[in-house]
Structure 1
């Protein structure tokens, strides 16, 4: 298994680790009933019949959008309901669409064009992981073939997979999350039955999650006509993925040793890969954000820069998604995410929620539900999976996130059992 340095520390509930004792957390169920809304507009249009790919500065959001999660979320422009003492929103935000939500309760604190259907870039990989990750054991070994690497888009971000070499599923997921490797996505898709089947699986899972703004064309988020999502959907998808222990491990890993070439009779070579999430690593002159834990960034010609981030301060955990800042360059999406996280932590309890991140269609919100699904095969995980109402939790110690099995992070959901060349540029085109 690849050695790695991660922002997450994996523990069992109540397990004493040298220098750190993290108790199990108890978080009540605070999930809303599924919202009902009119079907969204065709995926290839912005609601007015214009191609969604056009991302020029004059493009305006549609006058009406989906109301999944609440009526205010379907309105264009900034939506916020401040109470006495609420801080003002940052005045220099340029993201065409963004959202700030409580990761545990699902309450949306503020949003701007939350349901605007825009190209997602590699934030689409969150849906890919949430769909495919539970299906493949992390210790499974796979030999990469030339055919599996065919079709990776020109200019794609890659982790550097080589044909005829063996990789574990664990290695491949590190390639997906850290380097946004489209080559790793293609190999995992092949293991899942092929690109076409994986796209169908992802679309079915998006519909199950009520991520109804999302239309999947390519599993890696590479620019494709008609491929869209929204800040609301990406946040919803991230929240679902974060219920899976392995998803949290991968998206919270800052750097890792990745297997490279292997000459006959010699030990295999390894090289270091670093997460392209600049709020985690501080690359590009960005100050690392205290308490950041992922989840995924992206950058393509059609999408511009996109990012969904999770952070915790004290007992408060927030999800922020920013899509396509008009400021340009690689850094504004991170800077605006950090500003919105700061605002969200300061505004907690001082704004009325304007909407809700809805549960999956099949969620059972009347009981404690079942633990998050994971491809982790440890005895502890197997034991948790056989019980009811355990789930997982995370906490922050010194700005680094610690993962706790047996607590309660975003629990009380039931998911349907049947649906479910390396680049040096830290934000490469095609990511």
Structure 2
């Protein structure tokens, strides 16, 4: 088994970094690591002068203004409530005498359908598109060069329903509203998901709970678990035992025995080069591989990433090691609330310690293998800020990415595309991000990214004041409905029910957003 990662990336990526992500490379701290004669630099024969190092300073965004966290109240959530009112009120007013029956039928339709629209013509178009997308799982395709592509296996008939019933349904799940763009063509991944990183709304998905080998995207869980435990100024002298068990053909940053590295150096090796050697050394500092795997599994369960089974902390192919597009997106969302996680994931290149020669420690340049960040072989995606890519013989190509546009932050995970297109995992991610930004506010969510278990009120903790308020809202709505029904022949009933539903929705959104994401450093 080989882990396949790009060894080199384009230069001057700092100019394309999001303003709210502060790089952790030495250059970002004001040290020119690429100029001629930089201290400790390993010179490359015939290498062109890259010119001055470019870096950005600029306005902050949601991550920095919340000390590295997602905002607690989302614009999309408010938009969704407004859209719910616009959709619900006309239907209830049109048929007040049978409002209850229509409400029940509407709920059934909402859970039943994949790719439903609020406009008849759009509904037909999206239904045809969804059927086409789902059929691509059941037949072979030809790649970009006309080569036959292996037939995709079918997803399980039953999958987890964490985050919503539709997310456990095989095939593409999307509910387009008026004016929403159709999903992009040419999607070949076995599994993918598009989610709002702040509200947690899942805008669209395809087999998002399919348990598949994750490759190096598993390193997101590794980092989210260990980053808070290991101070980045700590150092460690590497022994041969630390590197024992690194898989054959693994991606590696180039750690050497008997040399000393800081935790900061090792995290650069993990995030940029996807170095399994760095993962093993950090695991040794954490008490060993077995302990690290146990802690990662416990953290996955805390996040409710229940499709995930950890066998190896570096994502190297191992029997029984699986995750899902849904879980990887949950994990990325959790990690992105940590400042160091964000900074490492958004760093395009850095200097890594090499050997000591003549009493002086040399360094060599390492570059991020995330092609949407560096623009290596594909166009860099505007506003991208990480997160992690992977590629193994069993997993195929996997990728979770985060990007911001006009104040909206989206997460996309794509697993194992097989179109035959070069760099397909990045290109399909780009197309899904484009769709997500265009569709935001115009689709009904098909599910949600759930909060961690610890964010929920403990059992027996007593009544929640927001739950009490919600129940009072329901009671008041029912009383108002009865009063209006007596005086208006049924129209008042419809309006009161609609008002009550919106009040309940508003309280529900408020409670969820207050509980999680929490503000973290």
For residue 205 of structure 1, the aligned residue among 290, 299, 305 is 299
**Alignment RMSD:** 2.6
Cα distance between partner residues in 1 of 2:272 and 2:421: 20
For residue 263 of structure 2, the aligned residue among 169, 193, 216 is 169
- Richer in helix (by share): 2
CA spacing shift, 1:262–1:338, aligned 2, 3 Å: same
What SS is found at the alignment partner of 1:362? helix
Q: Output the TM-score relative to the length of structure 1.
A: 0.75
For residue 248 of structure 1, the aligned residue among 335, 339, 342 is 342
Structure 1 residue 57: deviation in Å?
A: 2.5
1:78-108 deviation per Cα after TM superposition (whole angstroms, max 9, x unaligned): 0000000110101110000000000000000
Do 1:281 and 1:288's aligned partners in 2 also have CA atoms closer than 8 Å?
A: yes
What SS is found at the alignment partner of 2:261? strand
Structure 1 residue 413: deviation in Å?
A: 3.6
Do 2:230 and 2:263's aligned partners in 1 also have CA atoms closer than 8 Å?
A: yes
For residue 304 of structure 1, the aligned residue among 396, 401, 405 is 396
Equivalences for 1:94-243 in 2 at 5 Å? 94-243=188-337
2:364 is aligned with 1:271: yes
What SS is found at the alignment partner of 1:134? coil
CA spacing shift, 1:279–1:18, aligned 2, 3 Å: closer
Match of 2:22 in 1: 9
Structure 1 residue 328: deviation in Å?
A: 3.7
Cα distance between partner residues in 2 of 1:180 and 1:252: 13
Do 1:5 and 1:256's aligned partners in 2 also have CA atoms closer than 8 Å?
A: no
Match of 2:58 in 1: 20
What SS is found at the alignment partner of 1:146? coil
- Richer in strand (by share): 1
- What are structure 2's unaligned runs of at least 5 residues? 1-11, 25-54, 78-148, 458-463, 466-512
Do 2:308 and 2:321's aligned partners in 1 also have CA atoms closer than 8 Å?
A: yes
Cα distance between partner residues in 1 of 2:56 and 2:439: 36
Match of 2:413 in 1: 321
Do 1:325 and 1:332's aligned partners in 2 also have CA atoms closer than 8 Å?
A: yes
Structure 1 residue 28: deviation in Å?
A: 2.5
Comparing 175-184 with 141-150, greater Cα deviation is found at 141-150
Match of 1:396 in 2: none
- What are structure 1's unaligned runs of at least 5 residues? 12-16, 33-54, 368-409, 418-431
Cα distance between partner residues in 2 of 1:143 and 1:181: 17
Equivalences for 1:354-365 in 2 at 5 Å? 354-364=446-456
CA spacing shift, 1:106–1:19, aligned 2, 3 Å: closer
CA spacing shift, 1:411–1:275, aligned 2, 3 Å: farther
Cα distance between partner residues in 1 of 2:515 and 2:270: 28
Cα distance between partner residues in 1 of 2:23 and 2:358: 35
Do 2:451 and 2:517's aligned partners in 1 also have CA atoms closer than 8 Å?
A: no
Do 1:29 and 1:412's aligned partners in 2 also have CA atoms closer than 8 Å?
A: no
What SS is found at the alignment partner of 2:186? coil
Do 1:311 and 1:319's aligned partners in 2 also have CA atoms closer than 8 Å?
A: yes
User: How many correspondences in the alignment?
Assistant: 342
2:61 is aligned with 1:61: no
Structure 1 residue 329: deviation in Å?
A: 6.2
CA spacing shift, 1:18–1:171, aligned 2, 3 Å: closer
Q: Mark the structure with the bigger radius of gyration.
A: 2
Do 2:156 and 2:210's aligned partners in 1 also have CA atoms closer than 8 Å?
A: yes
Match of 1:257 in 2: 351
Do 1:276 and 1:297's aligned partners in 2 also have CA atoms closer than 8 Å?
A: yes
Do 1:178 and 1:254's aligned partners in 2 also have CA atoms closer than 8 Å?
A: yes
What SS is found at the alignment partner of 2:416? strand
Structure 1 residue 364: deviation in Å?
A: 4.9
Q: Which has the higher contact order (CA 8 A, sep 6+)?
A: 1
